[in-house]
Amino acid sequence: MKSLEELLRLNKQIRLIGFDDAPFQKERGAPVKISGIVCSNTRFEGMLWGEVKKDGMEATQVIAELLISSKFYSQINAILSDGVAVGGFNIIDLPKLAKMLERPCIAVMRKPPNMAAIDRALQNFPDYKLRKETLLKAGEIHSLRNFYFQVQGCNPNIAAQVLEQATDNGNVPEALRLAHMIGAAVITGQSSKRA
């Protein structure tokens, strides 16, 4: 499989999958549906649907298994997630996910997170230390080309170019925008305003 750098240099389509959680109940341990939307650049090509627990710690494993067992795995060049957690504080171990999937993994944010507030929230968990370590493993938050993101598995400049190529307009890559809207529509009957 060609590297992202090579695909960009050759001006080739980049096939990626964007994961986001659907609306969920607030109780800890409640089921949280996650949608994974496959796009070639900004064109919708397929979808995966899985489930994690609210505030669990299995998101990394679930996402990896969902993608590896799918027909899309061999075609995917990069994995995107809406932030570094799904279902509240079910934190994705970004370097572990990149290693398991053998693909770059990029956690995209609309704005820089309030790390002090996140730390205070994490202190409510008995496994605070593990969650904090997992969160910090995602690495530095980069601000490049109008995107805020953390990346494992490729150079931040390459990741920013991929995000730009995968975005129709604004600063949310199409795969993540669709994952958000479709997840909301499946659970509530209509897509939400904000993606």
pLDDT category at 27 given cuts 50, 70, 90 is very high
Question: What does the pLDDT average to over 34-59?
Answer: 98
pLDDT score recorded for residue 185: 94
Asked whether residue 149 is assigned to any structural domain, the reply reads yes
Residue of 28, 114, 37 whose CA lies nearest to 81? 37
What are 117-133's pLDDT values in tens digits? 999 999 999 999 999 99
Query: Is residue 62, in this structure, part of any structural domain at all?
Result: yes
Count of domains in the chain? 1
Is residue 21, in this structure, part of any structural domain at all? yes
**Residue 194 pLDDT level (bands cut at 50, 70, 90):** low
What was the pLDDT predicted at 171? 87
Q: In this structure, is residue 180 part of a structural domain? A: yes
Q: Residue 22 sits in which domain range? A: 4-186
Q: Is residue 191 part of a domain?
A: no
Residues 157-173 have a mean pLDDT of 94
pLDDT in tens, 63-114: 999 999 999 999 999 999 999 999 999 999 999 999 999 999 999 999 999 9
Distance in angstroms between the alpha carbons of the first and the last residue of the chain: 31
Residue 193 covered by a domain: no
Is the pLDDT at 195 greater than 70? The verdict is no
Residues 180, 195: Cα–Cα separation, whole Å: 6
pLDDT band at 160 (very low <50, low <70, confident <90, very high): very high
Q: Enumerate long-range contacts of 128-137, CB under 8 Å, 24 or more apart.
A: 130/57, 131/57, 131/89, 131/91, 134/57, 134/91, 134/92, 134/93, 135/84, 135/85, 135/91, 137/93, 137/94, 137/95, 137/96
pLDDT at 193 exceeding the cut of 80? no
Number of helices followed by number of strands (H, E) in the chain: 7, 9
Assigned domain for 192 exists? no
The residue assigned the tokens 């298994």 is 65
Q: Which long-range contacts (CB under 8 A, 24 or more apart) does 136-141 make?
A: 137/93, 137/94, 137/95, 137/96, 138/84, 138/92, 138/94, 138/95, 138/107, 139/94, 139/95, 141/109, 141/112, 141/113
CATH number assigned to the domain comprising residue 16: 3.30.2170.10
pLDDT band per the 50, 70, 90 thresholds, residue 52: very high
What is the predicted pLDDT for the residue at 118? 96
Could you tell me if residue 121 is inside a domain?
Answer: yes
